[in-house]
Amino acid sequence: MQSDASLELRTDRIREMITQGNRFDSRKLDEYRKIEIIKNISENAEGSARVKLGKTDVVAGVKLIVGTPYPDNPDEGTISIGAEFLPIASPFFEAGPPKIGETELARVVDRGIRESKCIDFKKLCITENEKVWIAFVDIYTINDDGNLFDASSIAALSALLEAKVPKIEDDKIVKGEYTGKLHLARKPLLCTTYKIGGKLVSDPTFVEAQGMDARFSVATTEDNYLTAFQKGGSGSFSPKEIDECIDLSFRHGKAIRNLL
């Protein structure tokens, strides 16, 4: 456990260091920590993954459930992404109903994936007007050492890439049997840039992130699409800084995509 008592002091020092272009762990400002992706961490999930970003640790799992289509889209399945900041991951997380931080993270990761149109929802139709697949992706934090957004995006995408579609016979799921993988047409990844001490910083640790003014998340695809933006925090970005953030997201997205 890290001592949180001296947190504020450390935050000031780290901010100063960053202003001078230095980081506590010797990384460059635009450098990510080591990324580790472990697949299929839960046999009960249709697909699952655990992602470590340095000491940050999250898991994501996919369950495919038979549901009813929306009347507007009678031949389309759907996806639903949730996130829970498990209290095992940080002294600041509490059990209880979803908090706004969890809702924001889930919705931003969701948009990045959904809007990339990487999933053909028509392929998730079982019987038009009646039965479709709903893909529930749930993200849980294991250890919060900063940059949960990016770790969650990688975990969600990895879990979806692993996900298998259950076999249906006589209108019922045949447990343990699958008709194949869920096909993804694109691999959208969210990369977030933080503004700390006037500088743009990638993949901050928890302590670094404490000193942030603002953050900007950008989801990109391998075919050079932007699929989601989200600015957070009480600070601001200049138009030029936004452009730099977008460049960073394209660059890091490409690098991370190679690890999947």
Our measurement of the distance from residue 91's CA atom to the centroid of its chain's CA atoms, rounded to an integer in Å, reads: 21
User: Total binding residues for another protein by CB under 8 A?
Assistant: 67
Q: What are phi and psi of 219, to 5 degrees?
A: -95, 135
Q: Token pair of 109, please?
A: 């990761």
Residue from 75, 115, 120, 222 in contact with another protein (CB under 8 A): 115
Among positions 43-82, residues that touch another protein (CB under 8 A) are 43-46, 48, 55, 57, 59, 61-63, 65, 72-73, 82
- x/- string (CB under 8 A) for another protein, residues 218-257? ------xxxxxxxxxxxxxxxx--xx--x-----------
Instruction: Dihedral sign for Cα 119, 100, 232, 28, please.
Output: negative
Q: Token pair of 192, please?
A: 């977030």
Among positions 152-171, residues that touch another protein (CB under 8 A) are none
Instruction: Dihedral sign for Cα 43, 134, 260, 219, please.
Output: negative
219: β partners: 190, 228
Options 24-32, 87-95, 125-133, 193-201: segment touching another protein (CB under 8 A):
87-95
* CA distances, 253 to each of 78, 183, 247 (Å): 25, 20, 10
Nearest residue (CB) to another protein, 194 versus 206: 206
**Contact positions toward another protein, by CB under 8 A?**
1-2, 41-46, 48, 55, 57, 59, 61-63, 65, 72-73, 82, 84, 86-91, 95, 98, 100, 103-104, 106-107, 111, 114-117, 136, 138, 140, 142-145, 175, 206, 216, 224-239, 242-243, 246
